[in-house]
């Protein structure tokens, strides 16, 4: 055990971790490798000696643990990347390397909308710069994606505002992607998000023929949806989109996306209603900027109910519903994979957004915020690395020592920046609710059987 003495020379300190108790058993979540392990009181005793010299630890624990036992525990901690030391770096991950080559791009083909949703982050869909993209800009954007990617499979998202206000350009972009596929040895997948109010047979037939993946913005049942999503004249939209999407829903060819606001925090009820409408997938996420600290307990209870509901679906074997509840399944998958990340998504890294003028932004939520512009399709990237560094959790004092940093990874960058800049006393505590959710998911994961994990995640197993 001389190796331990060398490695832990000086004070013994640990990387971030979290202790959980499930069914009278104790578990540790090791942040640096995202592992979950059952532990005993001996390891807890050593953890409680953090910040002390090794000889002091030997002396403090001599009545319960001998030197060899302590050295073995420290060695296991080193193997789990839990033990800090001067001559042994913590585990590295891919996000600390140079930015990835692009794999996708979002084109703001229409910075305009026919609706006036109450919580719109884009200023009535205009992003402070109302207008429509030109075909030349769209083509140059696709070429820019190709030139900056080494992947043979690329994703193009046609976004707005409401993209079907500019359906002619929509079609031209799809046709352009198809025409250059054999020339550039790339395969394009096309996605779009719509409010559904402009869908008709022509548009529907085109989407299906060209295998465009479609997501519909719908916030739940009629009362919930209509309280948030309406036209400029305040006319409600639920009945219209039910009619317009009927055929695609019946065929399971359209997904939904719900924004949860303080008008309705019953996420189980929202999911059940959207499931009854036969959407292909049902992601939804709270709009935290619509909440205050007075909503915290209500949101916490809503997540308790949602996670309990998810577990009941698993125990009853209803995996069709389980797999459509992507808000929980995708988060639980991060626990399962034991991933070690520093950046939450491809924002500004493997993907970016292009506004109607050809300017580049980290994602669609940053469009028209001039301070977050990272270049243009005409001159290339400028300041992309600086932006990526700014959202890296290892560069944030408030994140780098948090046990949940590799599950949260700083959250949505746009939302987090707004949260950190919000100095109001009644702002909703996103960090605390995020840690609560992840703690609940880890406890759920520990309760799953191996067969249940297999049904949920397949054969791939990375960590834990």
416: Cβ contacts below 8 Å, ≥ 6 apart: 391, 410, 430
Every domain of the chain with CATH number 3.90.930.60 lies at 2-91
The mean pLDDT value for 51-63 works out to 93
Residue 460: the pLDDT is 56
pLDDT at position 327 over 80:
yes
* Cβ atoms < 10 Å from Cβ of 50: 12
- Confidence at residue 94, expressed as pLDDT on a 0 to 100 scale: 40
Residue 374's pLDDT is: 95
Q: Give pLDDT, residue 239.
A: 97
Q: What is the DSSP string of 161-194?
A: S-GGGGHHHHHHHHHHHHHHHHHHT-EEEEEEEE
Mean pLDDT of 186-213: 97
pLDDT-wise least confident of 84-93, 287-296, 327-336, 342-351: 84-93
How many whole angstroms separate alpha carbon 286 and alpha carbon 299? 9
pLDDT, position 396: 86
- Residue-wise pLDDT tens digits, 265-301: 999 999 999 999 999 999 988 888 889 999 999 999 9
**CATH 3.20.20.70: which residues of the chain?**
100-359
CATH topology of domain 2-91: Outer Surface Protein A; domain 3 (3.90.930)
Q: What is the mean pLDDT of residues 48-62?
A: 93
What global pTM score does this model have?
A: 0.89
Return the CATH fold of 100-359. TIM Barrel (3.20.20)
Give which of 13, 16, 14 is closest to 399, Cα–Cα.
16
User: Which of these, 35, 29, 34, 14, lies nearest to 78 by C-alpha position?
Assistant: 14
The mean of the pLDDT values for the chain is 90
Report whether pLDDT(435) > 50: yes
User: For 113-139, how does the pLDDT look when each residue is reduced to its tens digit (9 = 90+)?
Assistant: 999 988 887 777 788 889 999 999 999
């Amino acid at each position: 055990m001389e190796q331990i003495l060398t490695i832990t020379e000086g004070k013994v300190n640990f990387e971030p971790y979290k202790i959980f108790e499930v069914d009278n058993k104790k578990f540790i979540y090791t942040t640096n490798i995202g592992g979950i392990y059952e532990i005993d009181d001996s390891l807890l005793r050593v953890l409680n000696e953090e910040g002390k010299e090794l000889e002091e630890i030997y002396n403090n624990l001599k009545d319960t643990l001998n030197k060899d036992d302590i050295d073995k525990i420290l060695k296991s901690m080193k193997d789990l990347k839990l033990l800090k030391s001067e001559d042994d770096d913590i585990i590295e991950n891919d996000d600390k390397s140079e930015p990835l080559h692009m794999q996708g791009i979002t084109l703001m083909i229409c910075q305009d909308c026919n609706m006036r949703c109450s919580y719109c982050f884009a200023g009535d869909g205009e992003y402070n710069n109302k207008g429509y993209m030109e075909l030349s800009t769209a083509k140059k954007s696709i070429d820019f994606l190709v030139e900056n990617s080494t992947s043979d499979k690329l994703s193009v998202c046609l976004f707005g505002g409401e993209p079907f206000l500019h359906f002619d350009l929509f079609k031209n972009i799809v046709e352009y992607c198809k025409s250059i596929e054999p020339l550039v040895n790339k395969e394009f997948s096309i996605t779009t998000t719509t409010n559904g109010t402009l869908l008709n047979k022509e548009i529907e037939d085109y989407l299906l023929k060209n295998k465009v993946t479609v997501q519909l913005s719908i916030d739940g049942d009629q009362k919930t949806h209509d309280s948030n999503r309406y036209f400029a004249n305040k006319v409600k939209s639920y009945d219209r989109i039910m009619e317009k999407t009927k055929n695609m829903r019946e065929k399971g060819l359209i997904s939904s996306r719900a924004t949860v606001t303080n008008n309705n925090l019953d996420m189980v009820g929202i999911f059940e209603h959207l499931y009854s409408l036969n959407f292909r997938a049902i992601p939804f996420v709270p709009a935290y900027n619509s909440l205050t600290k007075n909503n915290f307990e209500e949101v916490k209870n809503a997540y308790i109910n949602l996670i309990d509901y998810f577990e009941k679906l698993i125990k009853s074997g209803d995996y069709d519903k389980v797999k459509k509840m992507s808000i929980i399944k995708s988060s639980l998958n991060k626990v399962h994979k034991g991933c070690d990340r520093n950046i939450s998504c491809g924002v500004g890294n493997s993907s970016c957004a292009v506004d109607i003028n050809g300017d580049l932004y980290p994602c669609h939520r940053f469009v028209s915020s001039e301070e977050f512009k990272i270049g243009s399709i005409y001159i290339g990237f400028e300041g992309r690395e600086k932006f990526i560094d700014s959202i890296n959790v290892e560069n944030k004092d408030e994140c780098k020592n948090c046990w949940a940093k590799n599950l949260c990874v700083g959250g949505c960058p746009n939302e987090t920046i707004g949260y950190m800049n919000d100095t109001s006393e009644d702002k909703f505590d996103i960090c605390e609710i995020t840690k609560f959710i992840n703690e609940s998911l880890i406890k759920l994961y520990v309760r799953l059987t191996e067969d249940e994990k297999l049904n949920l995640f397949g054969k791939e197993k990375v960590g834990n």
